[in-house]
Amino acid sequence: AAMKQTKGLDGDKKSIIKFEFNPKDGIDNPALSLTEDTGVDGVGEPRFYFLSKGSTETFGFCLHEELGCHGHIIRQIELGGLAQRRGLQDGDRLLQVNGYFVDHMDHHRVVQKIKASGNQVLLAVLDSSSYEAAKALGKDLSQMLPADIRPRLCHITRDKSGFGFSVSSPEGVKGIFQLSVWQDGPAERAGVPPGSWLLELNGASVKSYSQTQLARKLKQSGNKVTLLVASSAVEEFYRLRGLRITAALADTSWLPFKVRELHMVKGPAGYGFLLKEDDCSSGATGQFLWDIDVGLPAEQAGMKEGDRLLAVNGESIEGLDHQQTVLRIRAHDDQVTLLVIDPAGDEFYQSVG
Q: How much is the pTM?
A: 0.71
Residue 80 is predicted with a pLDDT of 92
* Half-sphere exposure at residue 232, Cβ-oriented, CA atoms within 13 angstroms: 5
Domain end position, chosen among 249, 275, 301: 249
Residue 281 is predicted with a pLDDT of 67
pLDDT in tens, 195-249: 999 999 999 999 999 999 999 999 999 999 999 999 999 999 999 988 888 888 8
Contact in structure between 87 and 74 (CB atoms under 8 Å)? no
* 289 and 310 inside one domain: yes
* 225 and 179 inside one domain: yes
* 161 and 136 inside one domain: no
DSSP 8-state assignment for residue 162: B
Distance CA 145, CA 310 (A): 30
* 134 and 170 inside one domain: no
First to last CA, the chain: 14
Distance CA 117, CA 77 (A): 20
Cα separation values, 300 from 7, 92, 267, 271, Å: 34, 43, 11, 10
* Half-sphere exposure at residue 338, Cβ-oriented, CA atoms within 13 angstroms: 30
pLDDT in tens, 62-73: 999 999 999 999
Residue 185 structural domain: 152-249
Q: Classify residue 245 by burial, with Cβ atoms within 10 Å: 0-12, 13-18, 19+.
A: buried
Q: Which residues pair with 316 in a beta bridge?
A: 311
Would residue 167 count as lying in a domain? Answer: yes
* 177 and 232 inside one domain: yes
* 242 and 264 inside one domain: no
Contact in structure between 278 and 285 (CB atoms under 8 Å)? yes
Model confidence at 26: pLDDT above 60 = no
* 19 and 120 inside one domain: yes
Residue 39 is predicted with a pLDDT of 60
For residues 70-83, one letter each, b for 16 or more C-beta atoms within 10 angstroms of the residue's C-beta and e for the rest, the string is ebbbbeebbeebbb
Residue 35 is predicted with a pLDDT of 40
| pLDDT-above-70 percentage for the chain | 86
pLDDT in tens, 108-164: 889 888 887 777 899 999 999 999 999 999 999 999 999 889 999 999 999 998 999
Would residue 254 count as lying in a domain? Answer: no
Residue 27 is predicted with a pLDDT of 36
Positive or negative torsion for Cα 311, 317, 323, 327: negative
Would residue 29 count as lying in a domain? Answer: yes
Residue 86 is predicted with a pLDDT of 94
* 214 and 184 inside one domain: yes
Distance CA 163, CA 185 (A): 7
Model confidence at 74: pLDDT above 60 = yes
Contact in structure between 122 and 234 (CB atoms under 8 Å)? no
* 46 and 139 inside one domain: yes
Query: In this structure, what CATH number is given to the domain that contains residue 118?
Result: 2.30.42.10
* 183 and 202 inside one domain: yes
Distance CA 143, CA 141 (A): 5
Model confidence at 4: pLDDT above 70 = no
Domain end position, chosen among 86, 111, 144: 144
Domain end position, chosen among 122, 144, 166: 144
* 7 and 129 inside one domain: yes
- CB count within 10 Å of CB 335 equals 12
